Amino acid sequence: MIKKIILMTDDDQDLLGQMEHSLARHGYSLTRVASGQQLLAQARLLQPQAILLSLMLSDMDGMTVCEKLRKDSATAGIPILLLGLSHQESDVVSGFDSGADDYLPKPVSPRVVVARIKAVIRRYARAENETASIDFGKMNIDPKRHVVLIDGQPVDLTLTQLRILHALARQPGIVLNRDQIIRAALGPNAPVTDRVIDAHMANLRQKLGPAAKCIQTIRGVGYVMRSAQ
């Protein structure tokens, strides 16, 4: 049986060894790389099931690598989990804004990492069944191609921002609370606070420009997508 590949870069050799052992028990094969440039090249070549990306790399910042992966059509659809040293909410938000699907502050148990990898992969599998393109006013949202167009012009959204927008557009006129948005965009077990979701919404609205008027805040409840008047 061909093992599913997980691509990982980190300078903690003990963690790398533990991850290799833990992933093997669940049918995954760990491929290690030593730098951001190597990870970018191997991600294109191997098309792994997920990427474990350290924020501390020898040649470039991990968030920069994450952004490059998301902008490359060959790697844009690969799940990315960031491994960082900070527990600060602002750093977690920055990680998600760079395009990551999850953020795990160190020290972290290999069992937890494997569980989060499996959760992200399941989320991607579910998303395959929810990829219908949606037209909403002047906006076209195509999650399968990771494309959002406004008046035919592309808008550069992170994967999380696109999922939030798509979740709202699938149910126009229905108010979604923050828990529902978290589940739709990041999965049911994502350790994300209300403030993180609000930060994502603020960034999303900024990128949408005038089209952001269709996303309305229902104070104390959540958000709703309505045709702009």
In single-letter form, the type of residue at position 81 comes to L
pLDDT at 227: 82
pLDDT tens digits, 8-42: 998 888 889 999 999 999 999 999 998 999 999 99
Q: Which residues contact 47 (CB under 8 A, 6 or more apart)?
A: 5, 74, 75, 78
Q: Closest Cα partner for 222 from 163, 176, 171?
A: 176
Domains, in order of start, for the chain: 4-127 (3.40.50.2300), 134-225 (1.10.10.10)
62 neighbors 36 (Cβ within 8 angstroms): yes
pLDDT at 189: 60
**What's the CA gap between 96 and 101, in Å, rounded?**
6
127 neighbors 142 (Cβ within 8 angstroms): no
pLDDT tens digits, 55-68: 888 888 899 999 99
pLDDT at 127: 65
**Which stretches in the chain have pLDDT values below 50?**
1-2
Q: Which two structure tokens, joined as six digits, stand for 104?
A: 């795990």
Antiparallel, parallel or unpaired: β 139-142 and 134-136:
antiparallel
